[in-house]
């Protein structure tokens, strides 16, 4: 019999030294002369190591200090072709982004170029703002809407991030203790946008993620403060006005929808058109955006636990987990597999441990 040495084990099956850095080998148990993997799951078959120069660089930073290029380095270890530069939002030079030119919404901008030009000429701003754009290292958190956020008192922790991204109509007021009070941007689409003007936070960027041509038409009317006309093409009621000046409104780069769907999650291509089960959820799109534009990426409020049907679905309403219907547009199982891969590889940090 062989004695098994005691090692502290990283979730990915990699042994860690006293500083918490992974050693150069994956922990193996030696039984009867055969090497057996500590874990059998796909994710645990890899040691997600950072290059030595980055390990050294990060070891010299004080605790909690932003680690430049951290998420990108981790992402490259599982997706070697991952390349970070990809603007968060469309700017007047958007036609140079060849990857979105050949796809219609939601995966690109084909057929929508003229209306996008008109919108961008009015908004005149295409970044996060001077202060955030000038940061040499950005820590970002995507706050999901899951009931798992309730009673965790993570609000102050969430507010420590440089960029706080919220989704759709998830409220802040009255829930600050659990979800924080800071909002850098709110990413949404017409059917998901807050409809009651008083529920908007005082200042944040309003970001449209356009899933279909009517979404861009709607956004143009919101930017120009026009009376909403032509609501056909939406699957539920939409916001009739958005209390934001044009300079605080943005169009999310649709490349993130395309990359999340086809490259990361592996959803059906369907000739580049929206079809059954080939649209990533907004949360995963936001994470993809952050991986391209932030040095460290965290999430909170993600993950549905279907084994607890009576648990709250969202942190802000009484709807239960059992209310989830099988989605026509999303593939929740495949998406969870992708997000879990990111967590296991240390690409993203999950504050609520729901993924």
Structural domain boundaries in the chain: 8-47, 70-350
**pLDDT tens digits for 207-229?**
999 999 999 999 999 999 999 88
When pLDDT is cut at 50, 70 and 90, the band that residue 255 belongs to is very high
**pLDDT tens digits for 287-345?**
999 999 999 999 999 987 667 778 888 899 888 877 666 666 778 889 999 999 999 99
Give per-residue burial for 231-268: e unless 16+ CB within 10 Å, then b: eeeeeeebbeebebebebbbbbbbbbbbbbbbebbebe
Q: What is the pLDDT of residue 306?
A: 66
Q: Is the pLDDT of residue 165 over 50?
A: yes
Q: What is the pLDDT of residue 6?
A: 39
When pLDDT is cut at 50, 70 and 90, the band that residue 102 belongs to is very high
At which residue do the structure tokens 């802040």 appear? 172
Tally of CA atoms within 13 A in the half-sphere of 98 that contains its CB: 0
Phi, psi of 29 (to 5 degrees): -100, 135
In total, the chain counts a number of residues equal to 355
Class of domain 70-350: alpha beta
d(CA 114, CA 105): 14
């Amino acid at each position: 019999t062989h004695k098994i040495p005691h090692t502290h084990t990283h979730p990915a099956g990699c042994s860690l030294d006293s500083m918490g850095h992974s050693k150069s080998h994956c922990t193996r148990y030696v039984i009867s002369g055969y090497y057996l993997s500590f874990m059998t799951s796909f994710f645990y078959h890899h040691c997600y190591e950072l290059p030595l120069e980055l390990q050294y660089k990060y070891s010299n930073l004080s605790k909690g200090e932003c680690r430049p290029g951290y998420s990108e380095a981790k992402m490259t270890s599982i997706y070697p072709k991952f390349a970070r530069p990809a603007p968060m939002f469309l700017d007047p030079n958007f036609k140079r982004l060849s990857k979105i030119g050949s796809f219609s919404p939601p995966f690109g901008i084909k057929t929508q170029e003229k209306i996008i030009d008109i919108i961008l000429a009015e908004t005149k701003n295409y970044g996060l703002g001077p202060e955030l754009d000038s940061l040499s290292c950005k820590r970002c958190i995507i706050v999901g809407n899951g009931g798992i956020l309730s009673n965790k008192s993570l609000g102050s922790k969430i507010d420590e991030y440089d960029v706080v991204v919220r989704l759709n109509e998830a409220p802040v007021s009255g829930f600050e203790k659990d979800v924080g009070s800071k909002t850098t941007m709110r990413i949404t689409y017409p059917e998901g946008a807050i409809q009651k003007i008083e529920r908007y936070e005082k200042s944040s960027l309003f970001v449209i993620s356009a899933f279909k041509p009517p979404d861009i038409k709607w956004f143009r009317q919101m930017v120009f403060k026009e009376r909403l006309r032509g609501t056909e093409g939406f699957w539920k009621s939409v916001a009739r006005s958005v209390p934001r000046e044009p300079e605080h409104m943005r169009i999310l780069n649709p490349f993130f929808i395309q990359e999340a769907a086809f490259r990361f999650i592996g959803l059906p291509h369907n000739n580049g058109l929206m079809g059954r089960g080939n649209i990533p959820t907004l949360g995963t799109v936001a994470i993809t955006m952050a991986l391209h534009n932030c040095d460290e990426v965290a999430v909170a409020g993600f993950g549905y636990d279907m084994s607890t049907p009576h648990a709250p679905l969202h942190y802000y309403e009484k709807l239960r987990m059992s209310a989830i219907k099988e989605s026509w547009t999303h593939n929740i199982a495949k998406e969870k597999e992708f997000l879990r891969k990111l967590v296991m590889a240390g690409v993203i940090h999950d504050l609520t441990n729901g993924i």
